A and B are shown apart, each in its own frame.
Chain A
Amino acid sequence: MSLQHFLKQYPNRRYLMFGGKGGLGKTTFSAATAYWLAKQGHKVLVFSVDPQASLSDIFQQDIFGKGAVEIMPNLFAQEIDADRRIKEYQQEIRQKILDMYGLEKVPEEIENYIQAAAAEPAMEESAIFDAVVDIVIGGDYDYYIYDLVPLGHALYYLSMASVYDQWIDKITALRAEMAEYAQVASVMQRDKETEEDQILRELQYIKQRINTSSGILTDKERTAFFFVLVPEEMIIVDTQKAAGLFARYNVPLSGYVVNRVIPAELAQQDIPDYLRNRLAMQRGYLERIDQLFGQEVLARVNEFERDITGLPMIEKVAAALFGGEE
C-alpha cells in the first residue's frame, strides 16, 4: 500500500502524525503531506508541538507564535509559542486570585509559587499539550497534521496523558468524597445547601481537556501515526523499540516511511567508492526494513540534492511521498 492509498482508503483518519528520531525528516514529511492534501482541495493545518519548532524554517516564513498562518490556499501552519502561553496563563491566575479575594496584590507566598511552577520542566510540555486541545477542538480544518517532537518526548507526552488521566480520576474521587462529608455535616446542623464545589468543577474541566487530547492520540478511527526512519542499523533498532512502546500506549500505528534513500540508479554511473559503499550498505538495510515491516512500508523517499526549504522543494518531496496522480 502507498501513502496515497492509505489516505484514500481511510478518509476518516483526520489526525496525521509523523514520529521518529530527531533529524530524520518528520517536519519535512509533515509539510509535504500538508502540501499534498491542500492541493487535493482539503483544508489542512500543520502544527508543531516542538518547543524547538522548525516549520518556520521549512516554509521560510516566520510563523512562531502567530497562530495559524496561511502559507498557500488551504494550507495553514502554526507554531505554538509555549513561553508566551505560560506567561499569559500566569497572569490569568494572578488576576483570578485578585478578583476572588478582592486583593490589591497577590500574597508573596502565592506569587513565589506561581513563579516556581512556571520554571518547572514539565510546564512547557503541559502548556503545549493544553494548546493542542484548543487547536483540535476548534474543528476548523479537514486535516490536522502534528509535527511531533522527537521520539523520547513523544513517548513522554503520551505517558503524561495516561498519568494525568489516572491522577485526575483519583483526586476527583477524593474531592467528591469531601463533598459528601461536608454534606453530612450540613444535614446534621440543618444548614440549607452546601455551596457548590468549584474545585470539583475545575477538576472535571481539566479531566475533559486531557481526555480530549489523549483521546485523539489514541483514536483508532480518526488518527494515523507514521514512523519515519532511514536505512541505518541504529535507527531501525530504535524504531522497532519505539513502535513497541507506542503500541503499548494504544497509538494507532499506520505505517512506516523510509527517508534518505540513495537512488539505486546511481550504481550504474561512475561514482566514487565512498558512495558505492553507502549504496551497498543501504541496500542491505532496506531489505531488513522490508523483512521487518513488509507491507507497512508506505513510501521510500530518495535523498535530495539539497535541503528541503521553500514550497518548490516541498512540492518535490510531496511528489516523492505520494507518487503521481492515480
Chain B
Amino acid sequence: MGEQKPKKPGFLENLKSILYGMAGHDMARYALKTRGSMEHLFILITMGDLLGIPILPPYYSLRLLPYVVPQISTWKRRMLREKDLTDALA
C-alpha cells in the first residue's frame, strides 16, 4: 500500500560508494577532464573558422555545427583566454 520507502542502502552499497570515493572518483574525474579537453580539440579542428583558423572544408563542418552549439561559447573562452600558473593546479 502506498509508495515504497526509498530503500536504505545496505552495507555493501555503502562500501561500494566508499571505495569509489577513495579510488574511482579521481580516475573518473580525470577521464572526464581528458574527454573535455578532447572535446575542445575536436571543436577546434572542425570549427576552427570561428577563431579564424580554417581547418575543415566548410561544407562538412556545417554538418557538425548543430551538435556543438552548446559547447561553442565555453570553447571559445578556453581557447582565447590567457594561461597562468593556476592552470597547472586545476
Where the two chains meet, the residues of A that have a C-beta atom closer than 8 Å to any C-beta of B are 89-90, 93, 96-97, 100-101, 107, 109-110, 113-114, 116-118, 120, 122-123, 126-127, 129-130, 160, 164, 167, 171, 174-175, 177-178, 181-182, 184-185, 188-190, 198-199, 202-203, 206
Given A178-B38, A181-B38, A184-B28, check contact A109 B57 (CB 8 Å): no
- Cα–Cα, bound, A129→B20 (Å): 51
Given the complex, which residues of A lie within 8 Å of B58, measured CB to CB? 117-118, 120, 122-123, 126
Point out the residue from B32, B49, B63 that lies within 8 Å of A181, measured CB to CB.
B32
Point out the residue from A181, A188, A203 that lies within 8 Å of B25, measured CB to CB.
A188
Point out the residue from A109, A117, A199 that lies within 8 Å of B62, measured CB to CB.
A117
- Cα–Cα, bound, A116→B50 (Å): 9
Q: In chain B, what residue has the closest Cβ to A130?
A: B59
Given the complex, which residues of A lie within 8 Å of B39, measured CB to CB? 178
Q: How many residues of B contact A (CB 8 A)?
A: 37
- Cα–Cα, bound, A130→B32 (Å): 36
**Distance of A306 from chain B, by nearest CB (Å):** 40
**Distance of B58 from chain A, by nearest CB (Å):** 4
In the complex the two chains form, is A109's CB within 8 Å of B65's CB?
no
Point out the residue from A174, A182, A198 that lies within 8 Å of B42, measured CB to CB.
A174
**In terms of DSSP, what is the predominant structure of the interface of chain A?**
helix
The answer, yes or no, to whether B79 is at the interface (CB within 8 Å) is no
Chain B, 50-71, contact with A by CB distance < 8 Å: what is the 0/1 string? 1000101111111111111110
In the complex the two chains form, is B59's CB within 8 Å of A199's CB?
no
Considering the complex, which residues of chain B in the window 10-63 have a beta carbon less than 8 Å from any beta carbon of chain A?
20, 24-25, 27-29, 31-32, 34-35, 38-39, 41-42, 45-47, 49-50, 54, 56-63
In the complex the two chains form, is A110's CB within 8 Å of B65's CB?
yes
**In terms of DSSP, what is the predominant structure of the interface of chain B?**
helix
Given the complex, which residues of A lie within 8 Å of B74, measured CB to CB? none
- Cα–Cα, bound, A90→B66 (Å): 11
Given the complex, which residues of B lie within 8 Å of A100, measured CB to CB? 66-67, 69
Given contacts A93-B66, A109-B50, 6 further A-B contacts (CB under 8 A): A107-B69, A117-B62, A175-B42, A182-B31, A185-B29, A188-B27
Q: In chain B, what residue has the closest Cβ to A207?
A: B60
A97, A127, A189, most chain B CB atoms within 10 A: A189
Q: In chain A, what residue has the closest Cβ to B47?
A: A113
Given the complex, which residues of A lie within 8 Å of B69, measured CB to CB? 97, 100-101, 107, 110
Given the complex, which residues of B lie within 8 Å of A167, measured CB to CB? 56
Nearest 3 CB-CB pairs, A to B? A126-B59, A188-B28, A117-B58
- Cα–Cα, bound, A178→B34 (Å): 8
Point out the residue from B42, B49, B57 that lies within 8 Å of A116, measured CB to CB.
B49
- Cα–Cα, bound, A202→B68 (Å): 12
- Cα–Cα, bound, A114→B57 (Å): 13
